[in-house]
């Protein structure tokens, strides 16, 4: 298969008048064409969303099934997401085990796009629970963490935790486990956060939201992010963060800031009741609950509202999340040998075509 491209943004540089040769789902070769190609727009790597809760009115937290994962891919690939971590709200053990089993089953059937399970909870600080159910918050223990690891097997698990809720033994155990730990839904002091970072935590979840804030005499988890090289996700929808806050965060975090959607879907059929009104999702108490964002919109907002260069905005949705989740050997850039998960975007940053392992997904 050959994909012709007037322009390619590889993740590092622009190439002009090129052809991408795809073989067995991977980029076999990128080479110039003879002469000049007509057209506009450009090719880039597919978006990677490490925090998305569902799609097509099927919230994974209410329905931890293969069908919910399929519906999430069906909705979000249309706006450029080729890979995603399905995300489970803070939930009881039984729901967690169903979620793990659903992910394994989806992958065993050749399900598209899934690169892991993001457990957002249950090891939260209730003070910073956000829209999550307080009755589902649970205390961390070595035994509980071991059970998660054992049940997951080779399924990649990414987990948001409040470090101040852990004993020293439990914190050490989870940080040495295969779980990709991210700090969030936390009221940690900067000292507590820095301790977890010094022990090996490398990530922080949705900057500014559901965490201890940066104050003059108490820097909190926000301050820990700004004063460290921890990878930090951010929701660039103008609701979870003012665009001016995103601009400041980008200036401080530089290439360690990456995009997530935190996207939910309209679903009032289970314990999590998310209803969309006036362009935003809230729960039954009126608390902002996830987003209505797409990765396409997040990139557009970075460029048009925050003033981030196109190249860097694309990296925030491709290369950086690939690095965060240890996927960059196969994904995140347009390079020979990598999977042919690609987007054709218009010059105004609208997704026109999506390829998953070389297979076009849009008419």
The CATH number assigned to the domain holding 282 equals 3.20.20.140
Pair (215, 353) in one structural domain: no
Pair (34, 173) in one structural domain: no
Is-contact 314 299, C-beta < 8 A? Answer: yes
Predicted confidence at residue 279, as pLDDT, reads: 80
Flag whether 240 is marked binding.
Answer: yes
Pair (137, 260) in one structural domain: yes
pLDDT in tens, 229-259: 999 999 999 999 999 999 999 999 999 999 9
Q: Which neighbouring-strand residues pair with 159?
A: 119, 181
Mean pLDDT of 202-222: 97
Q: What is the dihedral of CA 169, 137, 261, 20, to 10 degrees?
A: 50
The label of the residue with tokens 């995140």 reads 332
For residue 63, tell me if it sits in a domain: yes
For residue 319, tell me if it sits in a domain: yes
Q: Which neighbouring-strand residues pair with 127?
A: none
- Closest C-alpha to 295, from 341, 230, 244, 360: 341
Predicted confidence at residue 283, as pLDDT, reads: 82
Pair (29, 63) in one structural domain: no
Pair (282, 191) in one structural domain: yes
For residue 342, tell me if it sits in a domain: yes
Pair (63, 92) in one structural domain: yes
Flag whether 256 is marked binding.
Answer: no
Q: What is the DSSP letter of 211?
A: B
Pair (272, 311) in one structural domain: yes
- Looking at the chain, the whole-number percentage of residues with pLDDT higher than 90 is 93
Flag whether 139 is marked binding.
Answer: no
Flag whether 118 is marked binding.
Answer: no
Pair (168, 148) in one structural domain: yes
How far apart are the two ends of the chain, measured CA to CA in Å? Answer: 17
Q: CATH no. for residue 346?
A: 2.30.40.10
* Structure tokens belonging to residue 202: 């490398």
Angle between helices 93-108 and 66-76 (to 10 degrees): 70
Pair (197, 278) in one structural domain: yes
For residue 82, tell me if it sits in a domain: yes
Flag whether 206 is marked binding.
Answer: yes
> What is the residue range of 173's domain?
47-324
Mapped onto helix, strand or coil, the DSSP state of residue 142 is: helix
For residue 339, tell me if it sits in a domain: yes
Pair (167, 279) in one structural domain: yes
pLDDT > 90? residue 169: yes
Pair (139, 227) in one structural domain: yes
Mean pLDDT of 255-281: 90
Among 6-20, 245-259, 280-294, which is the least confidently predicted range? 280-294
What's the pLDDT band for 303 if we cut at 50, 70, 90? very high
Is-contact 332 45, C-beta < 8 A? Answer: yes
For residue 80, tell me if it sits in a domain: yes
pLDDT > 90? residue 268: no
For residue 330, tell me if it sits in a domain: no
The yes-or-no answer on residue 262 being catalytic is yes
What's the pLDDT band for 285 if we cut at 50, 70, 90? confident
Q: How far is CA 288 from the centre of its chain?
A: 18
pLDDT in tens, 28-51: 999 999 999 999 999 999 999 999
Flag whether 143 is marked binding.
Answer: no
Distance CA 208, CA 198 (A): 21
Is-contact 113 78, C-beta < 8 A? Answer: no
pLDDT > 90? residue 163: yes
For residue 329, tell me if it sits in a domain: no
Q: pTM, whole model, 2 decimals?
A: 0.97
Flag whether 131 is marked binding.
Answer: yes
Q: Decide which of 181 and 278 is more confident.
A: 181
Is-contact 161 140, C-beta < 8 A? Answer: yes
Pair (294, 264) in one structural domain: yes
Flag whether 28 is marked binding.
Answer: no
Domains of the chain: total? 2
- Looking at the chain, the whole-number percentage of residues with pLDDT higher than 70 is 100
Catalytic position from the list 262, 278, 347, 348: 262
């Amino acid at each position: 298969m050959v994909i012709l491209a007037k322009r390619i943004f590889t993740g590092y540089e622009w190439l002009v008048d090129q052809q991408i040769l795809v073989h067995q789902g991977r980029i076999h070769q990128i080479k110039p064409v003879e002469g000049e190609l007509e057209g506009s727009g450009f090719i880039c790597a597919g978006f990677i969303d490490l925090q998305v809760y569902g799609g097509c009115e099927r919230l994974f937290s209410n329905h931890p099934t293969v069908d919910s994962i399929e519906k999430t891919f069906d909705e979000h690939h249309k706006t450029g997401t080729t890979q995603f971590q399905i995300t489970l709200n803070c939930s009881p053990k039984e729901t967690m085990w169903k979620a793990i089993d659903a992910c394994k089953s989806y992958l065993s059937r050749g399900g598209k796009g899934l690169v892991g399970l993001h457990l957002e909870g249950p090891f939260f600080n209730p003070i910073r629970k956000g829209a999550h159910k307080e009755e589902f918050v649970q205390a961390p223990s070595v035994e509980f963490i071991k059970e998660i690891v054992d049940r997951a097997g080779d399924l990649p698990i990414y987990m948001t935790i409040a470090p101040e809720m852990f004993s020293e033994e439990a914190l050490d155990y989870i940080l040495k486990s295969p779980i990709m730990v991210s700090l969030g839904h936390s009221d940690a002091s900067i000292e507590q956060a820095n301790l977890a970072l010094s022990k090996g935590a490398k990530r922080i979840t949705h900057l500014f939201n559901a965490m201890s804030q940066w104050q003059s005499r108490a820097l909190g988890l926000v301050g820990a992010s700004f004063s460290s090289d921890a990878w930090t996700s951010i929701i660039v929808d103008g609701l979870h963060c003012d665009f001016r806050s995103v601009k400041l965060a980008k200036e401080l975090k530089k290439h360690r800031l990456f995009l997530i959607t935190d996207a939910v879907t309209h679903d009032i059929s289970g314990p999590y009741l998310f209803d969309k009104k006036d362009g935003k999702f809230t729960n039954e108490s009126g608390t902002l609950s996830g987003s209505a964002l797409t990765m396409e919109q997040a990139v557009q907002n970075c460029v048009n509202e925050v003033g981030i260069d196109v190249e860097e905005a694309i990296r925030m949705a491709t290369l950086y999340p690939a690095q965060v989740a240890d996927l960059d050997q196969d994904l995140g850039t347009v390079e020979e040998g990598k999977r042919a998960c690609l987007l054709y975007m218009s010059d105004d940053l609208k997704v026109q075509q999506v390829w998953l392992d070389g297979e076009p997904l849009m008419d």
